[in-house]
Amino acid sequence: MDQKDLKAIIEQVLTEMNITSDAAAPAAAPAASCASCAVSAVEDGCIPDVTEVDIRKQYLVKNPEHGEEYAELKANAPCRLGIGKAGARYKTDPQLQFRAAHSAAQDAVFSDVDQAFVDGVNLFTVQTQCDSKDIYLTRPDLGRKLSDEGVATIKEKCKKNPTVQIYVADGLSSAAVSANIGDLLPAIMQGLQSYRIDVGTPFFVKYGRVGVMDQISELTGAEITCTLIGERPGLITAESMSAYIAYKATVGMPEARRTVVSNIHRNGTIPAEAGAHIAEIIKIMLERKASGTDLKL
């Protein structure tokens, strides 16, 4: 394939993406120049970063009926609707966005939280009975039990019988931990402090499932246990986090005893706001001595 053919392909892609340029750029543009590409223009043969597109504002259907009304509805939720087609297939832009989102979700699941980040937010680390990411993904039961070393570390380092025990777990998204904990955890701690509620020693659980909170509750003797855990990534965001909170959690208790605050991320419930809400929920739990379906909020 010669340079002329490559140039023709680039022009076709740009036309499908509704992007115009005064002149097509050389196909052999240096890769380094792509880092500085503007979203609204093509420079040196690069196309805009598809991960920066707000799909709530992207409406690609040509000559639509009631297009303005549809676009207004779409702006309320990040759904992959109104993306148009090129013949029987998706257009290039939505297809690339879909593949980028899928790649981000895979990265979030299969990568580990950077230990430097955990140390930077002053959390010590314990591990479940999973000794690798593969074991974690294929043996959910082992992610609900702490290793013997983890049990000993919690007994040694954690405050005994706190009113509230908070910890962070990677869950199914390392990206969620890195993106949210820096704002979420301090917001919860500040909220509980304002309510004069006693809080235990926070820490990080590697390869943790939600159910490990039950063992942690029994080990620490906490009245309320709260885990901040990465959600299973989707194709809208790979950075969503949930908070599972339970009153007097015990090993083997039904899932219905957990209260959940979900969709904590920059395009959902922002971490600082979620932290204040979680602190308020914990206060109500202590007053009513209940959680999950027994708690009416």
In this predicted model, what pLDDT tens digit does every residue of 199-233 receive, in sequence order?
Answer: 999 999 999 999 999 999 999 999 999 999 999 87
CA-closest candidate to residue 45, choices 34, 32, 56: 34
Domain coordinates in residue numbering, the chain? 3-109, 111-294
CA-closest candidate to residue 244, choices 257, 228, 255, 223: 228
Residue stretches of the chain with pLDDT short of 70: 1-4, 6-7, 13-47, 235
Whole-angstrom distance, CA of residue 84 vs CA of residue 62: 7
- CATH no. of 3-109: 1.10.30.40
Whole-angstrom distance, CA of residue 49 vs CA of residue 35: 9
pLDDT at site 221? 97
DSSP element (H, E) containing 245: strand 241-247
Whole-angstrom distance, CA of residue 33 vs CA of residue 104: 23
Q: 111-294, superfamily in CATH? A: Ethanolamine ammonia-lyase light chain (EutC) (3.40.50.11240)
Q: What 8-state DSSP symbol labels residue 20? A: -
Check the CA dihedral 146-119-110-55 and report its sign. Answer: positive
Whole-angstrom distance, CA of residue 93 vs CA of residue 196: 51
Check the CA dihedral 104-115-189-219 and report its sign. Answer: positive
Q: Which two tokens stand for residue 175?
A: 């990206």
pLDDT at site 201? 97
| DSSP strand pairing (224-230 vs 164-169) | parallel
pLDDT at site 101? 78
pLDDT at site 2? 63
Burial letters 21-47, b for 16+ CB under 10 A, else e: eeeebebeeeeeeeeebeeeebeebbb
What phi and psi, each to the nearest 5 degrees, are found at residue 230? -70, 130
Check the CA dihedral 285-278-238-111 and report its sign. Answer: negative
Whole-angstrom distance, CA of residue 176 vs CA of residue 228: 10
